A and B are shown apart, each in its own frame.
Chain A
Amino acid sequence: DQQVKQNSPSLSVQEGRISILNCDYTNSMFDYFLWYKKYPAEGPTFLISISSIKDKNEDGRFTVFLNKSAKHLSLHIVPSQPGDSAVYFCAAKNSGYALNFGKGTSLLVTP
């Protein structure tokens, strides 16, 4: 039973534009949400997170938005750079439990 869903397997964006990656979840008990970035042949690396008590968290070019009523979160990357090309995983957890990951969205930023 997949509790975290990333319905777009891939996304292509031009350099300098905004990348928007989406994620939906089904478990209302999740209280912490994270985005991980993964390059080929490497492990996922932590990018940004948000607590369920917030609706926005910003870190440089990366902003995560959380809409609890819709059980939806998104990651905005502005401006997108070619080095941002990677697979982005959305993850969620309920305190005391392990992370639940989405299937990932492959982002390609073209020059």
Chain B
Amino acid sequence: DTAVSQTPKYLVTQMGNDKSIKCEQNLGHDTMYWYKQDSKKFLKIMFSYNNKELIINETVPNRFSPKSPDKAHLNLHINSLELGDSAVYFCASSHRLAGPETQYFGPGTRLLVL
């Protein structure tokens, strides 16, 4: 069983479209994250949710809206997609945000905006 899963794995779409990426974890963790790995390979935190509440919201355009229907799911909706949104998006989870908690990552969603 995959601990952290993401769908879809690949997403190719046109500029201006709206798309969603889904993430699910079966580890019983309370905290979930979205990271973006851009073309320069930097992995940067975008959002963090703890028990369905938004905890971290880095400088991300408000076209990106995370939604956590329950502790096991954290979805990412992106409105009006732009070329610069092309990247690999990783979901992750951990027991909690504070302390030395190891984060477990999903396989990534490769988004290409044409």
What residues of chain A have their CB less than 8 Å away from a CB belonging to chain B?
2, 31-32, 34, 36, 41-46, 49, 51, 89, 95-101, 103-104
Which residues 30-79 of B have a CB within 8 angstroms of A? 33, 35, 40-45, 48, 56
A45 CA to B105 CA, complexed, in Å? 7
Q: Please tell me if the beta carbons of B4 and A43 are within 8 angstroms of each other in the complex.
A: yes
Q: Say whether chain A's binding surface is mostly helix, strand, loop, or mixed.
A: loop
Q: Please tell me if the beta carbons of A49 and B100 are within 8 angstroms of each other in the complex.
A: yes
What residues of chain B have their CB less than 8 Å away from a CB belonging to chain A?
4, 33, 35, 40-45, 48, 56, 90, 92, 97-100, 102-108
Q: Please tell me if the beta carbons of B90 and A34 are within 8 angstroms of each other in the complex.
A: no
Q: Please tell me if the beta carbons of B103 and A97 are within 8 angstroms of each other in the complex.
A: no
Q: Please tell me if the beta carbons of A96 and B97 are within 8 angstroms of each other in the complex.
A: yes
Q: Please tell me if the beta carbons of A89 and B43 are within 8 angstroms of each other in the complex.
A: yes
